[in-house]
Amino acid sequence: MAKAEVDIAGPIIKAAAQVAEAVSARVLFAYASAVDDLPALKKAVKPPTKLVLVCREDQEEQRANDHSIEAMVVPSFNLTRMGQIKMATMLAFSKLALKSGDVVVFLSGLSGQAVDTLVTMRIGDEYELFQTVGQPELTEHIKPAVFERVLRIALELAHEGREGKPVGTIFVLGDYREVQKYCQDGRINPFKGYTEKQRNVLDESMRDTVKEIAKLDGAFIIKGTGVIVSGCTTLRPALAGEARGQKHGARHAAAAAITASTRCLAISLSESTGTVRVWRRGSMITEIEKSSPPINGANTPPPGSTS
């Protein structure tokens, strides 16, 4: 006789609200797809904690609006549970909705399944997410909207690739005059000759252009305002030795080194794994990993398989 499934979503949601109250969390983030009973969740979360629904689809955002709950829209990708949390945190941080020292609570679960994960963290103390102690604010020299747009493009490339093939690239944001000192001359720049308005990454028409050029080797150099200075750029950062301790490939070593050499921020995309990493001052701030593809198109292994 098959063992009846135990409902863990209800107790986890109740526990999340209790934890948020006990630690005076600034925000409780909940993935909308993982929570069925929104009225119960809304009732459980007490001020001053703010409830924010993380929405990946239009109907989820509408559902949040119907229940008068603040929504934050994120790309609809299959990420690991921690990948979901990291993506939501980085996007909230880029919007200045979070700051160093804030305590936050997350409710998450596998895509399309009920909530099964509760995470509590203090922004700035969690090594894996924000190793920023003593550093300037993340968005220094970089418009939050620019960081968010580039991060989304990197995540879309990680999830979709280009023409069915995986893509690897680097986006270097901010401090572009110093960054250019560490760029190798002689490469073709596909953005040369276009006005700054035409080559601004915030222009929706640039999204596909950037993705297409990302298939080619090299990095994108982008001003903090979103203007793309160059693409297909070879980085030659002076402090390449700073990256030797990194356990990643050459692309990520270059991203670490250019951020150690200048006051820029870099977003790297691994061609082999689809992992997106954010770098600052030679160190990785966060790492967003894709989830493994479902086995036989399902979220659970087929009968007889091992987990």
pLDDT tens digits, one per residue of 27-68: 999 999 888 889 989 999 999 999 999 998 889 999 999 999
Note the CATH number of domain 9-122. Answer: 3.40.1380.20
pLDDT of residue 165: 86
pLDDT-derived band at 25 (thresholds 50, 70, 90) equals very high
pLDDT of residue 187: 67
Among 136-145, 181-190, 231-240, the range scoring the smallest mean pLDDT is 136-145
Query: Which range is most confident: 132-146, 158-172, 182-196?
Result: 158-172
* Dist CA 217 CA 201 (whole Å): 19
* Dist CA 245 CA 164 (whole Å): 33
| pLDDT tens-place string over residues 75-103 | 877 788 888 888 888 888 877 788 878 89
Domain extents in the chain: 9-122, 144-288
pLDDT of residue 128: 40
pLDDT of residue 113: 76
pLDDT of residue 302: 34
Q: How much is the average pLDDT of 216-226?
A: 93
Question: Which has the higher per-residue pLDDT, 140 or 265?
Answer: 265
* Dist CA 112 CA 298 (whole Å): 11
Residue 191 is encoded by which pair of tokens? 């953005």
pLDDT of residue 140: 55
pLDDT of residue 19: 95
Among 191-195, 228-232, 245-249, the range scoring the smallest mean pLDDT is 245-249
DSSP β-ladder status, 169-173 and 265-269? antiparallel
List, as one string, the DSSP characters of 112-176: TS---EEEEEETTT-TTT---TTPPPTTTTS-HHHHHHHHHHHHHHHHH-BTTB---EEEEES-H
Question: DSSP E strands: which ranges in 15-80?
Answer: 27-31, 50-55, 70-73
Instruction: Tell me which fold the domain 144-288 belongs to.
Output: YojJ-like (1 (3.40.1700)
* Dist CA 37 CA 32 (whole Å): 10
Return the percentage of the chain with pLDDT > 70, whole number.
82
Identify residue 5 by its one-letter amino acid code.
E
Residue 243 is encoded by which pair of tokens? 């990256």
pLDDT of residue 247: 54
Of 82, 85, 92, 260, nearest to 178 by C-alpha is 260
Beta bridge partners of 266: 172, 279
Of 54, 47, 116, nearest to 85 by C-alpha is 54
Residue 203 is encoded by which pair of tokens? 């222009």
Judge whether residue 127 has pLDDT over 70: no
pLDDT of residue 307: 27
pTM across the whole model: 0.79
Mean pLDDT score across all residues of the chain = 82
Judge whether residue 18 has pLDDT over 50: yes
pLDDT of residue 67: 95
Which secondary structure element, helix H or strand E, spans residue 206, and what is its range? helix 206-213
Judge whether residue 126 has pLDDT over 80: no
CA dihedral 90, 34, 109, 124 (to 10 degrees): 30
Question: Which has the higher per-residue pLDDT, 184 or 50?
Answer: 50
pLDDT of residue 301: 35
The reply to whether 9-122 and 144-288 are identical in fold is no
pLDDT of residue 241: 47
Of 45, 44, 71, 49, nearest to 60 by C-alpha is 71
Residue 243 CB neighbour total at 10 angstroms: 21
Question: Which has the higher per-residue pLDDT, 253 or 125?
Answer: 253
Question: Which has the higher per-residue pLDDT, 86 or 186?
Answer: 86
Judge whether residue 239 has pLDDT over 90: no
